[in-house]
Structure 1
Amino acid sequence: MDCYMLKSRRLVGIADAWSVDDADGIGEFPEAMSAAHKQMVTGLEEAMVAKLELASHSSLFSSSDDSFLPGSSSLDTSTSEEKQGLSESTTERPGNNGSSRQVPRLRVLGTAGMAGFGKAVDILDTIGCLVTTSLSTDGGFISRVKTKGCPISILAFEVANTILKGATIMQSLSEDTVTYFKQVVLPSEGVQNLISSDMGVLMRIVANDKREELKIFSQEIIRYGNRCKDPQWHNLDRYFVKLESENQPQKQLKETAIAEMQKLMDLVHRTTDLYHELHALDRFEQDYRCKLMGKGSSDRFEKDNLPGENIQIVRIELKSQRNYVKSLKKRSLWSKTLEEIVEKLVDIVHYLHFEINASFGSSDGGELSSESTEDCQRLGPAGLALHYANIIIQIYSVVSRSGYIPPNTRDALYQGLPPRVRSALPNRLRTSSVPQELNIDQIRATMDKTLKWLVPMAINTTCARGFLRFSEWAKSGTERIGRRPGQPDVIETLYHADKAKTDAYILDLVVWLHHLVSQSNRPANAKDQSTSNQD
């Protein structure tokens, strides 16, 4: 019935559509309409005709108002059709049952007048739609963009990756993790010898690392916010900048952030299931396509029903898998909107900012103060951390061997030494000497005292890859959040190591390695000398 009401409403705006010509057919009611529907539509038409006549009598649309319309002119009453249109009469049109009804004929206001009236009706229709959709029950305006939201859909896995980053940072700021960090990691030999022995400097370094991780996490949320249809989530970078000047956390902020992160992680777990089931669906579809290709390329499928039955089974399994994937999409991040996820992530960023300050101190203390001078160049910012790690691992591999060391290994190690170490090595070899009573095992034991804390930091440097990606976490089959043994913290690597201190330890190891090789080759040299003396 609504479509017919709309039809009659549109006919009021276009007078020419109600011509008395029977061939037009627009003014007729469909045959399938009931008598009640016909009576209701007829009543609406008659009421709207009465309003039209009232508007024409009150000169609502005068000829002077039509001057701006293209092709407008004064009312022309010289034609016979318009003179006939000025009279009010009815025309009988038969229906299916042989009965007739009276169809009202509209009073024609003229070409220009009806054009203006039609445009006015269209404008009123548009305004009415806007008011209907923009006004709430309490009289306020509601943005249709805000209520609709921006669906996540295929971005679900990228959003899950971001949520995992936030969960990792939150886990690293837990009370147990911070306590372990302060009591075990920072007082360790590697951190104390290569980075700094000042706990205040170490705390500022860790705080800066956490803020850098939070910055990476926040930038992804800013990007999601700019994709939202709701403009209140745009330009979140300005809001996050304001957080740096706030030092007092809001009440119940921790409880709210933890509860929201738990809800988000539940969605991440369901998204993980969706990740696996989508891969399974892809395998089902490939299997189904292979079955269809086999059926089309072989004549025996037309004689034997068994392959057809196999295809039917695969088709049923494929349909079942599609339905399961569809249900997982409804329960995972796929069906959520960016607005509701960004809202939770913003609260989490707010909490993490205050938690970093509470655990490791605020950023008011500045950077590394006197440590950040040219005399204390860090390996990570200089791009040398991985290179130094490879040198240390090579030294360790040579020390672990027994017997003869190939010349190519020795030459490769020497060519890879830092310039400062290589230039200072000849002088150290001339001035240093090893007591004759030290054997190979004793030299190795001396080197192991340094390698036992230096090698783990080098290995951590080669294994450090930043945040764990969602795909890796989903394939691991574990629900553990946080850094794993193969993913150390930045402070446990050579990234913040002092270049001058690291060069000194590497130079010392290379000198001891020279004495180790000399001691390993001494028996052979002595044997050669004894044989030459006999000759």
Structure 2
Amino acid sequence: MVTEAWIVKMRNQVSANLKHALLLESPSAKKPSLPKQTIGILSFEVANVMFKTVHLHRSLSDAEISKLKSDVFRSEGVRNLVSSDENHLLHLAVSEKLDDLSRVASVVSRLGKKCSEPALQGFEHVYEDIVNGAIDFRKLGFLVKDMESMVKKMERFVNATCSLYSEMEVMNELEQAIVKLQRSQQHQESVKAFEQKLMWQRQDVRSLRDASLWNQTYDKVVEMLARTVCTIYGRIETVFGKKDSTLKRDR
């Protein structure tokens, strides 16, 4: 089992490192560390992943699961084209949810390689052992206690990042317009007006970079996503049951 070997190698420090990385424990003594990398241009990809994560979480609400069982499973189209066996339909549903979650976890694992915390760098191993049932992630103490607050936080990041994308496009258009006007060596008043607009636009972009994912560190963002992924996995277990063989399948 990957995590057990990791625990031995790290002298049983994985759990402590994981909790520290996920901001659940305060280190007794802070050590100097290298500056943490910020997300930057990858913020747009990360925003897309966050959006999908939020959507997956919403799809596992009590209301959505009730709708799935009472409406979707019993619809004539599903019963005729897929199956009338509810157990089989549940198996298909949990498979789809796990596939969606694993795609998110894969991106989180890739982003984790840029983190400074070893536990986040090795998230792929943690997630693999969670899925395989090799560790009880509920006992590690890093599940999100208030998912609605976490979801709202991620939604704010997603919305701000979408706004940043739009404003950066406007900024690029202004820059190109100024270049064209300068090349024509005419309309100097127009050039000055566009330069003023560009200055204001750059200020808006700088502000949005702070509010969006752009200026967030990999450690902060990966921590949010890693905790959310594990919490959603726990929700899938709660909704569909631990004993479903799909939850234990190899990946």
TM-score above 0.5: yes
**Per the alignment, do residues 143 and 204 of structure 1 end up closer, same or farther by CA in structure 2, a change over 3 Å counting?**
farther
**Per the alignment, do residues 192 and 155 of structure 1 end up closer, same or farther by CA in structure 2, a change over 3 Å counting?**
same
1:362-390 Cα shifts (integer Å, max 9, x gaps) = 3x3335xxxxxxxxxxxxxxxxxxxxxxx
Residue in 1 that maps onto 2:73? 186
Q: C-alpha distance in 1, partners of 2:189/2:245?
A: 73
Identity of aligned residues (%): 26
Match of 1:259 among 149, 152, 157: 149
Is 1:213 matched with 2:93? no
C-alpha contact 2:42 2:214 (8 A) present in aligned 1:
yes
**Per the alignment, do residues 248 and 179 of structure 1 end up closer, same or farther by CA in structure 2, a change over 3 Å counting?**
farther
Residue in 2 that maps onto 1:339? 219
Query: How much has 1:311 moved relative to structure 2?
Result: 1.4
Q: C-alpha distance in 1, partners of 2:190/2:43?
A: 35
Matching of residues 118-157 of structure 1 within 5 Å? 140=29, 142-145=31-34, 148-157=35-44
Counterpart amino acid of residue 166 in structure 1: T
Residue in 1 that maps onto 2:20? none
Q: C-alpha distance in 2, partners of 1:252/1:337?
A: 19
C-alpha contact 1:247 1:354 (8 A) present in aligned 2:
no
C-alpha contact 2:130 2:137 (8 A) present in aligned 1:
no
C-alpha contact 2:73 2:79 (8 A) present in aligned 1:
yes
Matching of residues 409-448 of structure 1 within 5 Å? none
Matching of residues 300-379 of structure 1 within 5 Å? 301=186, 307-362=187-242, 364-366=243-245
Query: How much has 1:200 moved relative to structure 2?
Result: 1.0
1:265-307 Cα shifts (integer Å, max 9, x gaps) = 1111111110110010111111111111111xxxxx4xxxxx2
Query: How much has 1:215 moved relative to structure 2?
Result: 0.5
Residue in 2 that maps onto 1:239? 126
**Per the alignment, do residues 321 and 141 of structure 1 end up closer, same or farther by CA in structure 2, a change over 3 Å counting?**
closer
Secondary structure, in 3 states, of the residue corresponding to 1:333? coil
Residue in 2 that maps onto 1:523? none
Counterpart amino acid of residue 178 in structure 2: Y
Is 1:197 matched with 2:77? no
Query: How much has 1:331 moved relative to structure 2?
Result: 1.5
| Structure with larger RCO (C-alpha < 8 A, sep 6+) | 2
Query: How much has 1:252 moved relative to structure 2?
Result: 9.7
Residue in 1 that maps onto 2:174? 284
Name stretches of at least 5 consecutive residues in structure 1 with no aligned partner.
1-137, 296-300, 302-306, 368-535
CA RMSD in angstroms comes to: 2.2
Larger radius of gyration: 1
**Per the alignment, do residues 143 and 248 of structure 1 end up closer, same or farther by CA in structure 2, a change over 3 Å counting?**
closer
Q: C-alpha distance in 2, partners of 1:310/1:194?
A: 63
TM-score by length of 2: 0.80
Secondary structure, in 3 states, of the residue corresponding to 2:113? helix
C-alpha contact 1:207 1:361 (8 A) present in aligned 2:
no
Secondary structure, in 3 states, of the residue corresponding to 1:313? helix
Q: C-alpha distance in 2, partners of 1:272/1:313?
A: 27
1:85-126 Cα shifts (integer Å, max 9, x gaps) = xxxxxxxxxxxxxxxxxxxxxxxxxxxxxxxxxxxxxxxxxx
**Per the alignment, do residues 365 and 220 of structure 1 end up closer, same or farther by CA in structure 2, a change over 3 Å counting?**
same
**Per the alignment, do residues 293 and 248 of structure 1 end up closer, same or farther by CA in structure 2, a change over 3 Å counting?**
closer
Is 1:173 matched with 2:53? no
Is 1:293 matched with 2:176? no
Q: After TM superposition, where is structure 1 displaced by more than 4 Å over at least 4 residues in a row?
A: 246-254
